[in-house]
Amino acid sequence: MPKVRIVTDSTAYITKEYAQQHQIRVVPLSVTFSGVTKEEGFPGEFEDFYHQLQTSKDFPTTSQPSIAAFASVYEEILAEGCEIVTIVISEKLSGTYNSASAAAAMTAPDKISVVDSETTVSNLKLLVNIAWELAEQGKSREEIVDTIEKEKKRMQVNLSADTLEYLKRGGRLSAAQAAIGSLLNVKPVIGLVNGKLEALAKARGRSKALEYIIEHVPENATHITVLHILCPDEAKQVQQKLQAKFPNINVEIDEIGPVIGAHLGPGGLGICSKW
């Protein structure tokens, strides 16, 4: 067994099977919708949430895992005689990093490293996978952290919403902005810049928005993943375009879960890339 175990949060959207197979612990964020709080869950479990989002007038709120949730996982791993590298969603998007760090300070600060990935979704998953591979190779906790800190600087996430409705309901756009945008068929493109979501462009129409995010994948990319919310067919079309453009890369497709996807809503599409 590797001497270092990897911990992450649910916004990496790794499958339950992958987590079990690789002994990666996933500490979930939670979503409160119409007064009911649930853990975010794993890919394959998101459909009910998005159907509720489409039919409800309420808008969900999300919350980071508690310090106790991380501490409990840490204690179990430490009892097995392992050290821990925890890699979590960008600190600018969630308080998860603070919970993970506070739990580390409480349990065994000399045996646990917590890394702010400055990203999320498939790029967080990729960092987790890199860390796991290094742990398998017998690398030390410090060596794993050094590598992850370098790798996270060569990543990009660009996302496009199919409708402005959920950005409006989530308070990211005013009703007037959303109404004008809808009239003009504006599809916003949002990017993760230095760990924070920022508006990158306003495209006229869906195809222009997708063109933008495809064109902005770096030429020297080594990993590419298409992200989607309830639009697998469109995701496959984007995948095919990228596969033709980058024949040496195995372009993957991942789902976006509720914590990240609520503001984009069904029809949201994105591309994660690493170079």
pLDDT for res 187: 83
- Give 102 or 181, the one with higher predicted confidence: 102
Residue type, 95: G
- Average pLDDT, integer, range 229-243: 97
* Contacts with 15 (C-beta within 8 Å, 6 or more apart), sequence order: 42, 43, 44
Q: 34: number of CA atoms within 13 Å, CB side?
A: 7
Fold of 155-274: Hypothetical Protein Tm841; Chain: A;domain 3 (3.30.1180)
Hey, is 110 helix, strand or coil? coil
Task: Assign residue 36 a region (left: φ > 0; alpha: ψ between -120 and 50; beta: otherwise).
Answer: beta
- Name the percent of the chain lying above pLDDT 90: 81
Q: Is the pLDDT of residue 114 over 80?
A: yes
Q: Return d(Cα 184, Cα 186) in angstroms, integer.
A: 5
Q: Do domains 4-29+65-151 and 155-274 have the same CATH topology?
A: no
Q: Which pair of tokens denotes residue 101?
A: 């760090």
Hey, is 214 helix, strand or coil? helix
Unique residue bearing structure tokens 């959207």: 13
pTM: 0.93
CA 209 to chain centre: 20
pLDDT for res 161: 87
If one looks up domain 4-29+65-151 in CATH, what number appears?
3.40.50.10440
* E strand segments, the chain: 4-9, 25-27, 30-33, 36-39, 61-63, 83-88, 112-116, 155-160, 186-193, 196-204, 223-228, 252-255, 269-274
Q: 100-109, 110-119, 183-192, 234-243: which has the minimum mean pLDDT?
A: 183-192
100-109 pLDDT, tens per residue?
Answer: 999 999 999 9
Unique residue bearing structure tokens 């409800």: 56
- Average pLDDT, integer, range 1-12: 92
pLDDT for res 190: 87
Contact yes or no for 22/132 (Cβ under 8 A): yes
Torsion of CA 228, 230, 232, 237, to 10 degrees: -60
Categorize the per-residue pLDDT at 68 as very low, low, confident or very high, splitting at 50, 70 and 90.
very high
Q: How far is CA 209 from CA 29, 201, 225, in A?
A: 29, 8, 17
pLDDT for res 205: 87
The full set of domain ranges for the chain reads: 4-29+65-151, 155-274
Closest C-alpha among 60, 67, 75 to residue 30: 60
- Name the percent of the chain lying above pLDDT 70: 91
pLDDT for res 203: 87
Q: Is the pLDDT of residue 18 over 60?
A: yes
How many other CB atoms are there within 10 angstroms of residue 5's CB atom?
Answer: 25
Give me the chain's average pLDDT, please: 92
- Average pLDDT, integer, range 194-215: 90
pLDDT for res 174: 63
pLDDT for res 188: 84
- Average pLDDT, integer, range 76-98: 97
Categorize the per-residue pLDDT at 162 as very low, low, confident or very high, splitting at 50, 70 and 90.
confident
Q: Return d(Cα 204, Cα 52) in angstroms, integer.
A: 28
